[in-house]
Amino acid sequence: GNSVTQMEGPVTLSEEAFLTINCTYTATGYPSLFWYVQYPGEGLQLLLKATKADDKGSNKGFEATYRKETTSFHLEKGSVQVSDSAVYFCALSDRGGYQKVTFGTGTKLQVIP
């Protein structure tokens, strides 16, 4: 079956530091890949996505590149802010009969001033 593996958290960074959250996946075929973000007390919301190999998704200064050869979709941001403190979920959507989405376990990011 499909699976998504994320680096364990929590990750604590100082404001303006560089962020990388690793995500690797196992899937049959060619899935679409997503990063969702969950702010405290809220539901998940889509941060960015990529639908094919070498695509780069980007939003709010975050980026992730779909790497088929390494089955990875690492999330990066050049300069984090306190407001980026949240839980980040990597996910994939399979080319099955319906939109089956498999989520990673989530990585908690805390940014301190």
Partner 1 sequence: EAQVTQNPRYLITVTGKKLTVTCSQNMNHEYMSWYRQDPGLGLRQIYYSMNVEVTDKGDVPEGYKVSRKEKRNFPLILESPSPNQTSLYFCASSLSGTGLTYEQYFGPGTRLTVT
Give residues in contact with partner 1 (CB under 8 A): 4, 31-32, 34, 36, 41-46, 49, 51, 89, 93, 95, 97-101, 103-106
Give the number of other Cβ atoms within 10 Å of residue 20's Cβ: 10
Q: Minimal distance in Å, beta carbon 95 to partner 1? A: 6
Between CA 1 and CA 76 the distance in angstroms is 27
Say how many Å lie between the first and final Cα of the chain, rounded.
41
Tell me whether residue 34 or residue 73 sits nearer to partner 1 (CB atom). 34
| Closest distance to partner 1 from the beta carbon of 12 (Å) | 18
Minimum Å gap between C-beta 74 and partner 1 is 17
Q: Rounded to an integer, what distance in angstroms lies between the CA atom of residue 88 and that of residue 84?
A: 10
Nearest distance in Å: CB 19, partner 1: 20
Q: What's the rounded Cα separation, in Å, for the pair 59 and 26?
A: 25
Which of residues 17 and 72 has its CB atom nearest to partner 1 in the complex?
72
Closer CB to partner 1, 19 or 31, in the complex = 31
Q: Which is nearer to partner 1, 14 or 51 (CB)?
A: 51
CB of 39 within 8 A of CB of 86? yes
Token representation of residue 49: 């996505």
